Each structure stands twice: as C-alpha cells, then as structure tokens.
Structure 1
C-alpha cells in the first residue's frame, strides 16, 4: 500500500511529487483502446447526428443509449457479477469524458442513467436489489432516473415534502409527491425516489418501477435553453405503492445517498465537460485556418491566436486535475479494500474522502467549458451565432453544467466548509501550517537570489506561496468568525476561488513536470507554456480574491499586514511573457489544425 497517498484537501498543506500523480499520459493500453472505441461511437452515432438532438428527438436519444448499452458503455463501473465491465474509477472517468463531447443531450442522459440512476443501487442496494435491477440497467435493457428535486427543495435537498406512508399490513409504502427536472423521465423504467417517512429528520430512498397504472404521471417535456433532446419532465406520485423490500439502504439514509451520489456526479460532470472543449477547439482552429479576412486566414491574427491558446490551456489543466483526482479516489478505494472494507463501502468512502476535490473540479471545468464555447462563437463571428455551426448549441448545452450537481455557488461554499470540517476532525492539519504563515509574516523576508535552474522551480515555489496566501486568509477568517463563517458567503466564495486555482495550477504544473521528465523539455515546450500560462492567471485570481477576502474582515494594522503578506505571496521573481507563451501554444494548434495535446 502506498503510504504517501494524500488525503482529500491535504494538497493545501502537503507537497505532492509529480511522480505520485496520475496523468492522461499514463493511460494503460486497455484504457487507450476504450478511449478509441468510445470516440468511434461518438463520431459515428452522435456527432454526425447533432441536428437530431437539437430538434428534440427524444426517441433518438433513447436509441443511442441502447446502442451504448450494447457496447457495454453503460456498465463500465458496474461489477462483473451484475453484467458490467467492473473497471476502475479512472476508466469510468475516461468513458464519461469522451462519450460527452458531441452533445449535452446525450451526455445528460448517460450521466443520469449511469450515475444517479444506477449507482445508488450498486452502492447502497442489497444483494436482491442488485441482482434484480443492475443487470438490466448495465445492459441498457432498462433505463434509470433520479427523483430528488422538488418545487421547494433544490439546493436544500433534505427539505422535500414527498411522503411515504407504510400500509397497515406493513407490506408496502404509498408515495405521494411531486418531483421536477427529472432527466430521462420520458423513457425510464425505474426511478430512485426520495421521500420522507412520517416526521423523520432525513429523507429515505426507494427503488420505484415506472408503472403508469401505479399512480405515476408525467408532466410534458420541458422546453429548455440547451440539452434539448434530454428528456426532462415533472413526475407526480399519487399513492404509488412500493414494496417495503424496495427501500434503498436504511430508513432515513436518503440524504446520505443523495449527497454521496452528488460527490461522484460532480467529478464525473467535470470529466463530461472535457471532450466538448477539445472538439470546440478543433472546430475553432479549423475555421480560423479556413476563414480569410484582409487576404489572410484569421488564424494569423494575434487576437484569435490568444483565444485559441487560452482555450487549450484551460482544457489541458482540466484534464490534469480531473485525472489526478480520479486516480486519488481509485487508489483510496484499493487501499480500503486491502484493509478489508467491502467493495461498496470502499467505493463510497473513497469518493467521500475527496469530496473537496470533486466540488473544485465541478466548478472549474464547468466554467471553462462555458468560456470555451463562448470564445468559439466569437472566433466564428456571425457564423458562430447560427445553428448551422456547432458553437451555439454547445454554448447552450454548457450552461446547465454550472447549475446541476449543485450550483457552482453551493459547491464553492461546500468546498471550504468541508475543508474546515476535515481540519476540525484532524484529517487535515490546517492550524499548524497557518500558524507558520503568521510567523513568516512577522519575519523579515529573505533578499537572497533564488536558484531557479531546474524546470518549474519558480512555478512550484509560487504554488507553495499561493497555498500560504490561502492559509493566511482562510485561517484568519476561521479565527475571527468560527462556526459563523458559513454566514459570510462572499468571503467563503473568495476563499473557494483561491483554493480552486491552487489545485488546478498545481495539477497542470505537476502533469507537465512529469511529462518533461519522461519525454524531455524540448518535446513538450507547448505544454510547459500552458502550465506557465495557467499559473499566471491563477496568481492574478488569487491576488484579487485574497484582497476581497482580507478587506471583508480585517481592518487597520491587521489589514495592512495581511495585504503586505498577500503581495509577498503572489510576487513573481521572473514575470512570464504571457504573449510569448500564448504564441507557442497557438502555433502548435494552428499547425496541427486541431486540439493537439
């Protein structure tokens, strides 16, 4: 067992070696074969039929899901004894990544079915439930949906009013209530439904077969901004009888099921936003090379090259962070199994351990895909606004990513809240490093000229300093407000943005350092440029958010000392030439005529 596994949230206080992270360059031969088969499916069945999804062809979405089931893609993470492929967490992420690039409609149907439709039974169901339902779901013979959200229960998931009443003979529950925004509702065979029994504090989960003769009715298809061929309906339950043996896990355990399902959903949503960016970049590069203005391709214009470089940098960083976290989760699952934990418990605890990173990735990558689509429209100009190009549908599809699996605002605040809870439990030592930062602020800074002869020496020192900036702001905020910190949402949001940028910047630097050590610096000069460019932006964001945070709770001498510390912790010795970095990246993209990393 690897004793050096970093626990969730510890990246802020513990140095990570590049040799100890997993990167997309580390895919096994089996994983690369899986990637190619998924890409072939997407190109053949989805990308070539994008217009059908935009015309709200729900039947076609179901047809494509059935084909994915025949290829085994719906059961990648399902254990082999239940008809799945039984692959690890990284492979599950890989499939989620590459199957989601063509259209948000299919991506949503796939994610809702495999994640929140199937996974709760796989992880919380008893043997009888798993044997009865999971093989059907893994094969695409049946489809699943997840009924949590209600008109008055969105982010506050545990406030749902749907009731479950036990029959007098104790054989079944009658479920009555209204659920909304239910993905796959129009063609699913079963629902994971959350309802409250009597006056229980927490909701309870149930497996409910979709039978219209059992008090289940559907609203009309919702007309949405994007993901137009994703079936989204309200579901009404009127004394729907559910056998007591279809209770999922234990009474009152529904909120825990819902939260753990969201943790997994968040990191998979990040993965589902990656290939869309790759494809958008490739389309943008091709158009920029073909579009002639002022007698030259617009790909020669600096403004266009800047956009392409920034788009590529963000997805490269998103890949680095997503697969780093996925491998951390997989390693944690293996460790728990080696310690004797059952598979179900090991998977649940493995993901729960890295819930902070799951929230970080959900926020960062969902915002990157929206920006990528937006810049893609801009590169296409007037044509980008037309339905004849893939840009406008991608922009609309991307918008939901910042809302579901918990809004980005909720996830920002959750990430900091979870970190503080980990610190209080002793799982992450924040107090010790935070006190060292305070001592450092009181000391005279060194004026020695540092040695930056090794690749990324300055960048890694900068990341270390950024961590100190976060510890300074977050530590002082916790000291000032204690448990009332959660009431100061703007401060939490600023601290979250600092933490997000640290994880993303560190991930991209470590990925590239590992790549350079394996292949040589000259062969990966574009990746080095992307790592340096991403870090440059991260420093800017952390500087801004640090100022916001400090100004919101510190005054007079305390504020002056902290602002002085922030300047010290965000100061470059050698400021990078960002325009030169962008040029290196853009040249590679334009010469390759595609996303080439």
Structure 2
C-alpha cells in the first residue's frame, strides 16, 4: 500500500487538529485487502460457527484442526515475511484479517495468541537461526505457539515474575523452574515463549519446546466464557533448554513483553470490532423476527434506540482503529526509510502509538461489552437461554476487558505515556496547556465562525474538548507532581476524556472524508452517527472533567476551572432521538449491521 499522507506522532491528537484527508478509513482498503477480510469472514462462518458447541466442550483436536486450516489458508502469515512462508502484507491488512475472525467466539482468542504474542516475539527478537527454525512452521500451521508471561502472583505486575533460569555448570543449557498460568493454546502448543529471571534477577525471554524435558501442563481451566480456547497452567520443573533458546538479550525480556503488547492491544480492538458487528447483526435479525403486540419489536422506539446505539459505537471505534492502524503503518515506513530493519520499524511504530493502542484496547472491549449486553436485552428471555447465540457472545466478551492489560491499567498507561512524552519534549504539551490557562483568564469569544461546511462546527467543538483535557490534565500535574501516579481516579477521568475525544474526532474525520467522495446525501446516516457520538462525548467530557476538578480543587480555583469546563463543553442541543431512529431504520431495512 502506498503511504503518502502526513506523518503524525503518537498522542499528538490532543494538541493538534487533523485534516480529514490525512486519515485512513475502511473505504480506503484495496480489493486485495477486502478479499483477505472476506476469506477470514467466510472461514468463521463455514468452519468455526458450526462447531461452537463442540469447541466449548473441548473435543480433542478440534481447535487445533481449525487452526491448521486457518494456517493453510494463509491467515497466519498476513504480516510475516515471504522468506518464512508469509504474505508480507501491511499492518492495516493484519488488523482487517483480525477483525474478520473476530466473530468466531473462542477461535479468535486462539488465533490472536498464535499470530500475535507467540509468533511476533520470535519474528522481532529472534536470531536468524530461531526464525528459520520456528517461523515457517508457525506460519503454515504445522506448529502452534503459546506465550507464557502471567504467574499466580504476577498479572499486571509482569516484572514480579518468580520463574527462575539458572545456567548449567558446563554453560550449555539453562534450567527453568516456575509456574505460568492462563496460558492460551497451552493444551496444543508446540512452542512456548517463556519469561524467566536468570539467577532470579535478569528478566529474559526463552523459546521452550513442548518436548523439552521438565515441561508439563495443568488441566483445562473452567472459564466463564471463551470456553473453546485452551487455557492451562504450564509447569517448569528443572526444564532444560539449550543456551540457544534465549530470546533477545539477557535481562531485556521486558522489551519483548511490553512492545508486543502494544500490537496486541490494537489487534484485540480489531477482534472486538468483528465480534461487535456479528452481535449487532444478530440483534437486528432477531428484532425483525420477534413479534409482540402484533408488531416486530424493531418497530418500537426503545428497541430502535438499542440497535442504533450499537451501530453508533461500532462505527466510531472502527473509525479510530483504522485511523491508528494506518498511522502505525506510516510511521513504520518512515523508520524503514531511516534504515531500520522491518522488525525494528514496526515495533518502533507501535511504540510511538502506544497511547492510541491502549485507548483502542479499552474502547474496543467496552463497545463489545455494550453491544452484547444490549443484544441479550433485545432477545429478552431468550437472550438468557444457552440455546440462543447471545448467551455465548455475552460470556465470551467479558475477558477482553482483562486481556492485554486490564482496562484500568490501560487507562492509566495512556495518560502516563502522554505526560512522559511531554516531559521528554516529544510532544509540546506545555505550550497548549499554558495557552488554555491564559484563555481561562480572558473574556470568552462569543463571535461566530464563518465556516459552515460539513462538520466545521463539530470540529470546533472537538478543539474545545481537547482544551478541557489539557486544562484538567495540567491542573492534575500541577497539583500532584510526582505523586500523580497515586491519584488513579483522576488519571482515569483524564483517560476517559481522551478516549472519547479521540474516537469522536476519528468518526467525524472519517465521515467528512468519505462524504467528500460520495456526497453528503449518500452519507446521511453516517453523518447522524458522527453527530450523535459527538453529542454524547460532550456530555461525557463534562462529567469526567467535573469529577476530576471537584476532587482536586476548592474555592475560587474550583469555580474558575468549572467555568472553563462549562465553556469548553458547551454545544448546541442536538435531536439524537430522531437521528437514532434514522440510523435504526437503515439497519432494520438491511436486516444486518449495515455501516
């Protein structure tokens, strides 16, 4: 894919406007990329969906068999170089394929663990010998991979791991001892990426094969959802691996663990997007079929609200996912141009947009939770029945707010990373923050703006919402200085403001760009979607901002900040009810998620 648009920095959305022509939208995907997406959708529909009950019952060899078929179709090798049997396609394509498998319930969990956290550490950090040994088999589906980081005593605190590695006296092997838990694909993996501390200190990655002596597995975990995925404990008891099994640099295991998570987070959002579309389609179909009071329930306003709101949130997070995905791809091209290897370039690009990856992980998983929850409600009593599809969708969605770092951790990480970029001079936060402080002391400008083009007023509103974020974040930094990390409630308020503004802006820019091509009439309901989402975002930013200001300040300072927040979150009333009805009518007529 040719990459020509303007390069932006991660987190820069808070301080700079973006031109609609500089964002990538799903309409920009090529025919080849859409074919890859369709291949993934067809695979889930024909191969996975008919087997869901059997998968949930852990029928021996069933999930591995499906994974092998996916490998044969080339779905594992989308972003793997051709020399290892892959297709060497760009990052947005890998997101599109991940979205395609997202509606497969437990299958995308196995798929994502294999293609992401199991394969990518070897691709990005492995020696040439390690890549040649493992990647062709992992790409084709002959080998299956798993990733062993979490331990009973260390979840979010990954560096608190207690698994040890000790070099043998002859210097030829390491002996690993420890226990890993919640290991996806554990029951059928051939290759495990394992993290251990050499001599109890140096956090390091290792490649451990299933056949290495001393590796054993616990029983399958009994889980609330994603029952079809294999989740086991992995025990390492005097597990002997050759010295050549060290992955990356000794003592630098954290670089593997944390860099791979950036990519994993945005890919999780893409999988949640696919699952959300599937659940929304089920909701529309059922609402059209279910008759009450002699009418399909899709005729009722309360149901129309739910169908429309599902679509609004899905469309909005989709806009943000592919905007960020292409920003990562553009940064990758920039780093390649500076002489970095493909591995260094993609990792560096994902690290640059770690803020957006964290934001999208939160928003993607919470949109899916909303969609399936309302799906259960639309199905009514049948939604609570295991004989209907929303039961599984509801249970399977819940893990996504815990996977890849909990949503609470990701919220705090997003704010922390933005502030650190400011301190390092990578983002000019100080200038815009000071400008906002000066604006608070000035007389408000009540002048109108001459620009009445599509979304001109909405983008002015987005600009004001960004000022609200800078005002609240700037106050928090001044108040708490080095102890800000302890004020988790305030950090989460700021994160929620940023998440909603990034998503709202992404939606507006997408619709603005596509309307420039197709015309406003053809994009009428997408325009409705963008405006309803922004209307709710204004209210959300006001709410989160008030909570933070009330907890940090008092007296005159509080009054001044509250007035500033009111100014920055002021927007005209918008008739969201009628807009939602128009959106719902499109869905009802199409009998599926149609945007």
Q: TM-score range by the shorter chain?
A: over 0.9
Counterpart in 2 of 1:458? 457
**Is contact 1:54-1:393 (8 Å) kept?**
no
Distance 2:59 2:277 in 1: 25
Counterpart in 1 of 2:10? 8
1:52 Cα offset (Å)? 2.0
Distance 1:556 1:530 in 2: 39
Distance 1:124 1:514 in 2: 38
Counterpart in 2 of 1:112? 113
Gaps of 5+ in 1: none
Counterpart in 1 of 2:148? 147
Distance 2:31 2:421 in 1: 37
1:318 Cα offset (Å)? 1.1
Indicate whether 1:174 and 2:178 are aligned: no
**Is contact 2:138-2:144 (8 Å) kept?**
yes
Counterpart in 2 of 1:587? 585
Distance 2:244 2:326 in 1: 35
Gaps of 5+ in 2: none
- How is 1:436-451 mapped onto 2 (pairs within 5 angstroms)? 436-451=435-450
Counterpart in 2 of 1:492? 491
In the superposition, the TM-score normalised over structure 1's length comes to 0.98
Counterpart in 1 of 2:559? 560
1:581 Cα offset (Å)? 1.0
1:4 Cα offset (Å)? 3.1
Counterpart in 2 of 1:575? 573
In the superposition, the TM-score normalised over structure 2's length comes to 0.98
Indicate whether 1:100 and 2:90 are aligned: no
1:3 Cα offset (Å)? 8.0
Q: SS state of the match for residue 197, structure 2?
A: strand
Indicate whether 1:276 and 2:275 are aligned: yes
Distance 2:182 2:24 in 1: 36
Q: 1:58 to 1:76 in 2, by over 3 A?
A: farther
Q: 1:418 to 1:58 in 2, by over 3 A?
A: farther
Counterpart in 2 of 1:205? 205
Distance 2:231 2:40 in 1: 25
- How is 1:428-577 mapped onto 2 (pairs within 5 angstroms)? 428-451=427-450, 453-572=452-571, 574-577=572-575
Q: Per-residue CA shift, 1:233-267, capped at 9, x if unaligned?
A: 00100111111111001101111110011111100
Q: SS state of the match for residue 132, structure 1?
A: helix
Distance 2:309 2:55 in 1: 29
1:39 Cα offset (Å)? 1.3
Distance 1:274 1:150 in 2: 29
Q: SS state of the match for residue 102, structure 1?
A: coil
- How is 1:339-350 mapped onto 2 (pairs within 5 angstroms)? 339-350=338-349
1:58 Cα offset (Å)? 5.4
Distance 1:255 1:425 in 2: 21
1:481 Cα offset (Å)? 1.2
What count of residue pairs does the alignment treat as equivalent?
593
Distance 2:120 2:385 in 1: 38
Q: 1:209 to 1:477 in 2, by over 3 A?
A: same
Distance 2:318 2:5 in 1: 25
Distance 1:135 1:192 in 2: 16
**Is contact 2:37-2:99 (8 Å) kept?**
no
Distance 1:27 1:372 in 2: 25
Counterpart in 1 of 2:77? 75
- How is 1:115-514 mapped onto 2 (pairs within 5 angstroms)? 115-200=116-201, 202-211=202-211, 214-451=213-450, 453-514=452-513
Distance 1:476 1:457 in 2: 29
**Is contact 1:58-1:229 (8 Å) kept?**
no
Q: SS state of the match for residue 273, structure 1?
A: helix
Distance 2:53 2:213 in 1: 36
1:447 Cα offset (Å)? 2.0
1:50 Cα offset (Å)? 2.2
1:452 Cα offset (Å)? 5.4
**Is contact 2:52-2:228 (8 Å) kept?**
no
- How is 1:7-46 mapped onto 2 (pairs within 5 angstroms)? 7-46=9-48
1:450 Cα offset (Å)? 3.4
Distance 1:278 1:257 in 2: 32
The alignment's C-alpha RMSD in Å is 1.1
Moved over 6 A (4+): none
